[in-house]
Amino acid sequence: MAPDRPTVDLLQGSLDVIVLQTLSWQPMHGFGIARWIQRVTDDVFQIEEGTLYPALYKMENKGWVKGEWRVTENNRRAKYYRLTAAGKKRLAEESRTWSLFAGAMAKIMTAAAAPA
């Protein structure tokens, strides 16, 4: 399905964390997830639907999120996704990895001198 580029894999991995983190506040439908990310990152991250929905379905198959049909405030039927216990565990693991990665990156980018 997805074109075979290494960046896609990377994106895919980070998309999972982003979505899990988003859902950690409250259950949301796909459109809501996309809007929320856009808003929080000040439109830096533009989530593509072409990757968002398959990613949600994959996470549902893995048991990290669970989809349920509910009615929105505007009285429309929408599929809401909520984080499962397995999903919370996964998110905790992923965010640890991310902090490590981000911290290491920050040290590299702010290093004062060239190595001896």
Partner 1 sequence: MTSPRRDDPAASPKWWRYLRFWGTNVRAEVDDEISFHLEELVGYHVARGVPPDEARRIATERFGDRDHIALAMRTLATQRETAMQRTEWLDSMRRDLRYAVRQLAKRPAFTFVALITLALGIGSNTAIFSAVNAVLLHPVATTDVDRIMVVRTNLPTMNLMNEDVGPGEALDLMARRDLFDASGAWAGRSGVITEIGDPRRVTVARTMGQFFDVFHVVPALGRFYRPDESEPGKERVVVLSYGLWRELGADRSLIGKSITLSGVRHEVVGVAPESFDYPRGTQLYAPIAMTAQYAQNRGQLIWNLVGRMKTGISRRQFDAGILSEQQRWHRDLHYGDKQFLSVVPLVTMIAGQLRPALLVLLGAVGVVLLIACANIASLQLVHGTARTRELAVRAALGAGRGMIVRQLLVENLVLSVAGGLIGLGVGAVILKLMSAAGASQMPALSDVHLSGPALLFTAAATLVAGGLFGLLPALRAGRVDVQEALKDGAGGASLGGRRSRLLHTSVVIQVALTLVLVVGSGLMIRSLRALLSQNPGFSAEHVITMKMTVTGPRYQQSGSLTNFYNQLLGSFTGMKELGPIGFVSELPFSGDNDSSPFRVIGRATDPSLPAMHANLHTIGGDYFKAMRIPLLRGRTFDKTDAATPDQATWVCIIDETLAKTYFPNEDPIGKRINQGPDATIVGIVGTVSQGELGEPPKATVYYPYTQHAWYSNMYVVTRTTLPTATVVSRVRGAIRAIDPNIPLFSTQTLDERIAGSLAPRRLAMIVLTGLAALSLGLAVFGLYGVISYAVSQRTREFGIRLALGARPTDVQSMVLRQGVMLALAGVVLGLSGAFIATRALSNLLFGVSTRDPFTFIVGPVVLATVAVAASYLPARRATKTNPLDALRST
Q: Which residues bind partner 1 (CB under 8 A)?
A: 1, 29-31, 35, 48-50, 53-54, 57-58, 60-61, 76-79
Residues whose CB falls within 8 Å of the CB of residue 23, separated by 6 or more in sequence, listed in order: 33, 65, 81, 82, 83, 87
Question: C-beta of 79: minimal distance to partner 1 in Å?
Answer: 5
**Beta bridge mates, 53:** none
Question: C-beta of 74: minimal distance to partner 1 in Å?
Answer: 9
Question: C-beta of 14: minimal distance to partner 1 in Å?
Answer: 19
Whether the Cβ atoms of residue 63 and residue 54 lie closer than 8 Å to each other: no
CB-nearer residue toward partner 1: 31 or 98: 31
Query: DSSP string spanning 15-44?
Result: HHHHHHHHHTTS-EEHHHHHHHHHHHTTTS
CB-nearer residue toward partner 1: 78 or 86: 78
CB-nearer residue toward partner 1: 49 or 93: 49
Cα(3)–Cα(51) distance, integer angstroms:
11
Whether the Cβ atoms of residue 21 and residue 37 lie closer than 8 Å to each other: no
CB-nearer residue toward partner 1: 27 or 54: 54
Question: C-beta of 112: minimal distance to partner 1 in Å?
Answer: 44
